[in-house]
Amino acid sequence: MNQPSRYRLLDLQIDLARQQVSRGGSLLDVQGLNFQLLACLLRHGHAVVDFDQLIAQVWAPAVVNEETVTQRVKLLRQVLGDDGRRPRYIRSVRGRGYQLCEPPQLLDESLLDASPQAATDTPRRQHRYLLAALTALLFLGIGGAWWLHKPATPVTAAPSASQELLQRAAYYAGIGQRDNNERAIGLYQQVLAAAPQNRIAQIGLSRAHSARVCLYNFPYEDTVTAQKLAESVLQAEPRSAPAWSALAYAHDCRGELQAALDAYQHAYALDPDDDGSRTSAAYLYQERGQLSDALHANLDIRGNPEKLRFREIQIARELDLLGFSEAAEQRFRRSFQLNPDNVFSNIAWPQHLFLQGRYAEAQAALDQALTRHTPHVDLYLLAGELALLRGDRRAAGENFGKAVQLRPQMSLPTTLAGLYGNTPPTSQWLDQRINAIQVQMNAGDGYPVDRLELAMLQLARHDRPAALATITGAVKAGYSDRAYLQTTPLLQPLASEPAYAAAIDTISRRVAEQRQQVLAADWRPAELHGSTY
């Protein structure tokens, strides 16, 4: 029997299958997490749903706190026209959670929707949901991306022991914490010990090994293991989109931009609904200067955009790079206000203000972000640059040092801590770091932005011609953040050089061309329709 899907709650009609809420025949704008929260409350009838249940059933495997739940309830109430002081639909139960104010009524006709076609579609949908859970992607590392897919929960039979292990492993892998990633690896290995050819476990284990490198600073050997696991699946199933996505992630975490991009593109060509691979590819387009392509890919999403927590920030970032600063700022500010638990929103808003030259506002937003979430390395790097702009070299060194403590194997914080620490760097140290980055670049690895670190080291070595040539090479490779080149104190000694100005001018010309492509496209964001930009 199909699960009932249509309910009445006072004057609201809720269709769970279509994810629609209407009142008096008019649809209400209840989407994404707002709808999932309402659906969760409906499934519990008139019972109180505590915070742990809401977090597990609406947000998991993402990690959020009670304040996030409270803020989401406020947003849902606003859409429904509910008043928290005199609630009609959703009541707060102090210290426990939330419940519906009235028992929801089942609409009988929802039981008559079953059809032979629906019955045959269900297993295919369930299989896709399970694979999506195992291709969790939405934590961005310095050399890669981990995107989180959280599909609506389908109605299934009781899972087997191996399925329970796989589901739990996917949950731990998606949390985005080192210890939980290790738990996921252990669970995937348990499945493979009993069934060595279990494709889902191989893909999940591949992704978890890549996450070790991208997110938790393990040695690059883990990406070799990840690649072998993904390739093992592809030998048996060459058209497995999740396996191609896992292979892409392994390349991505090694800084092999082109190989990663090719594999991500292959993944979503095989499965057009693979939004995680599509948005991962969009990030790589952005990194190599294909801003129009990146924006198009991020807008071309087939499923629920709210399941891709970094996508909104990526779109805002691409709009910013393309010079649509007002449209970008609206998105950055809105995400920062509505998503206090989203690490990417907490980074993006103060960085945007910094790049706009609004340093006091950037510092205030940064201070707020540091109280909201486990500090991210990029927040400390930004704090260091703001300190340099204030002339406080000691505070800059301290913040760069904190970044090193968070990511000891990440190259840029180590370089900055060495350049701005209490003890001046030696020529030998500078030469060693310069050589290491050049070896990586010569091997075809890394990203255009990595060249900026090399230029900082060359500048510290008093080799201005080499630093300028490196900046020119970064722009030629696709680096497109002219605002950063104009703002950062880390490259300020080069600002008066004609070659530096020429590099910024090259970015401006390239961006202007892509900007016109976006304005002429029928897929451009809604805020650019009728734009006077």
- For residue 249, the model assigns a pLDDT of 94
Cα(194)–Cα(354) distance, rounded to whole angstroms?
53
Chain centroid to CA 404 = 22
Cα(389)–Cα(42) distance, rounded to whole angstroms?
53
Answer whether residue 54 is part of any domain. Answer: yes
Answer whether residue 84 is part of any domain. Answer: yes
Average pLDDT per consecutive 10 residues, the chain (533 residues; last block may be shorter):
70 85 84 85 87 83 74 86 86 86 72 35 31 34 36 46 85 79 93 92 95 78 94 94 94 88 92 87 91 91 71 92 94 89 86 96 94 81 97 96 85 95 94 91 80 96 97 95 96 96 96 95 84 54
Cα(394)–Cα(128) distance, rounded to whole angstroms?
52
Peptide bond connecting 272 to the previous residue in cis, omega within 30 degrees of 0? no
- Residue at which a domain ends, from 236, 255, 287: 287
CB-CB contact of 414 with 402 (8 Å):
no
Q: Which two tokens stand for residue 377?
A: 């390395």
- 3-class DSSP state for residue 306? helix
Cα(17)–Cα(5) distance, rounded to whole angstroms?
6
Of 87, 435, 446, 65, nearest in space to 258 by CA: 446
Distances in whole angstroms, Cα of residue 413 to Cα of each of 22, 174, 377, 402, 403: 51, 26, 8, 9, 6
Q: Which two tokens stand for residue 461?
A: 């070595």
- Asked if 71 and 131 sit in the same domain, the reply is no
Domain extent for 60: 6-110
Answer whether residue 228 is part of any domain. Answer: yes
CA dihedral 239, 243, 247, 252 (to 10 degrees): 110
CA dihedral 59, 62, 64, 68 (to 10 degrees): -50
- Asked if 101 and 133 sit in the same domain, the reply is no
- In three-state form (DSSP H/G/I as H, E/B as E, the rest C), the secondary structure along 201-251 is HHHHHHHHHHHHHHHHCCCCHHHHHHHHHHHHHHHHCCCCHHHHHHHHHHH
- For residue 4, the model assigns a pLDDT of 58
Answer whether residue 353 is part of any domain. Answer: no
Answer whether residue 436 is part of any domain. Answer: yes
- Asked if 132 and 100 sit in the same domain, the reply is no
The runs of H, that is alpha helices, within 237-391 are 241-253, 257-270, 275-287, 291-299, 311-321, 325-338, 343-355, 359-372, 377-389
DSSP 56: I
- 3-class DSSP state for residue 339? coil
* CATH label of the domain that carries residue 248: 1.25.40.10
- For residue 111, the model assigns a pLDDT of 37
- Asked if 83 and 144 sit in the same domain, the reply is no
Cα(308)–Cα(299) distance, rounded to whole angstroms?
12
Answer whether residue 70 is part of any domain. Answer: yes
- Asked if 247 and 103 sit in the same domain, the reply is no
- Name the residue with tokens 């201070």: 367
**DSSP string covering 121-185, please?**
HHHHHHHHHHHHHHT-EEEEETTEEEEPP-PPPPP-PPP-HHHHHHHHHHHHHHH--HHHHHHHH
- Asked if 270 and 141 sit in the same domain, the reply is yes
- Asked if 159 and 264 sit in the same domain, the reply is yes
- For residue 121, the model assigns a pLDDT of 33
- Asked if 154 and 263 sit in the same domain, the reply is yes
Cα(448)–Cα(257) distance, rounded to whole angstroms?
10
CB-CB contact of 273 with 128 (8 Å):
yes
- Asked if 131 and 268 sit in the same domain, the reply is yes
DSSP 439: H
- Asked if 103 and 140 sit in the same domain, the reply is no
Answer whether residue 306 is part of any domain. Answer: no
- Asked if 29 and 72 sit in the same domain, the reply is yes
Amino acid at 84: G
Give me the residues paired with residue 446 across strands.
256
* CATH label of the domain that carries residue 86: 1.10.10.10
Answer whether residue 302 is part of any domain. Answer: no
Cα(87)–Cα(81) distance, rounded to whole angstroms?
10
Give, rounded to a whole angstrom, the gap between the first and last alpha carbons of the chain.
Answer: 55
Total domains in the fold of the chain: 3
- Residue at which a domain ends, from 233, 261, 287: 287
Burial track 365-391 (b if 16+ CB lie within 10 A, e otherwise) = bbeebbebbebbbbbbbbbbbbbbbee
- For residue 487, the model assigns a pLDDT of 96
Of 372, 364, 508, nearest in space to 382 by CA: 364
- For residue 61, the model assigns a pLDDT of 60
- Asked if 192 and 272 sit in the same domain, the reply is yes
- Residue at which a domain ends, from 287, 315, 335: 287
- For residue 398, the model assigns a pLDDT of 96
- For residue 52, the model assigns a pLDDT of 83
- For residue 186, the model assigns a pLDDT of 94
CB-CB contact of 399 with 129 (8 Å):
no
- Segment (H or E) for 302: none
